[in-house]
Chains A and B, each alone.
Chain A
């Protein structure tokens, strides 16, 4: 498996209510071991997955949102959030988890993993992928 492919994990659904978000994150963490070019996209209700201050006590579900903060340690550093999806839900970047990574090519400077992109830019990124996994 020498060829490096562009993998994009597309997250479109709210974090709770269905299991898609949790089981998507499990694939991302396992997939990080494969040395591929990995990115994540969050759009539609998927943007709610990255909300900070999640509290799931009232519904008895496991709050798995802290795991997103570990993505940088797994070298998953390209996280695209669709601007329109955020705006349609009354959210801004400040409402999202501050996901960071340390850039080894830049003296381990801490950088933001989240990149806001508009719908057209995201479509372009998708066009450029080899493998898309939709959840």
Chain B
């Protein structure tokens, strides 16, 4: 089965990012394919490399980044949602005259078309959120 995953909620605020991670991990362990993971709404905050959760807690950015590295996952952050919330890569921040950038290299910024394309290409689109 070829899955796509959409995450609509912010990390630590909501279980959705964790549940999506557990789902993705379980699906990959079973030999399924994940076409793309798409971060939308507050879910885009998962992609910040500047998050420093307490040491005895899970680090969701790192968990996703490690999983992506192991399985060559395509993790896309919605550009419009990300810009609203101050999540961006270096090029974009320069373009907007900002002096910092924060996206983790395991993620990439792209448009909502990537979400629709994932819905078209995958056998199942799994949406995690309220």
Contacts and interface: CB of A to CB of B under 8 A. Distances in A.
Interface of A: 1, 3, 5, 7, 19-20, 23, 26-27, 30-31, 33-34, 36, 131-135
B53 interface: no
B100 to A, nearest CB: 23
B113 A23 contact: no
Nearest to B114: A30
Q: Say whether chain B's binding surface is mostly helix, strand, loop, or mixed.
A: helix
Q: How large is the interface on B (under 10, 10 to 19, 20 to 34, 35 or more residues)?
A: 10 to 19
Contacts of A30: 111-113, 116
B93 interface: no
Interface of B: 6, 8, 40-41, 80-81, 111-113, 115-117, 119-121, 125, 127, 129
Task: Among A26, A36, A131, find the residue whose CB has the most chain B CB atoms closer than 10 A.
Answer: A131
A8 to B, nearest CB: 10
A1 B119 contact: no
B112 A27 contact: yes
A36 B120 contact: yes
B16 to A, nearest CB: 11
B10 to A, nearest CB: 11
B112 A26 contact: yes
Contacts of A31: 112-113, 115-116
Contact of A5 (B8, B40, B41, B120): B120
A100 B120 CA distance: 27
A27 B127 contact: no
B13 to A, nearest CB: 12
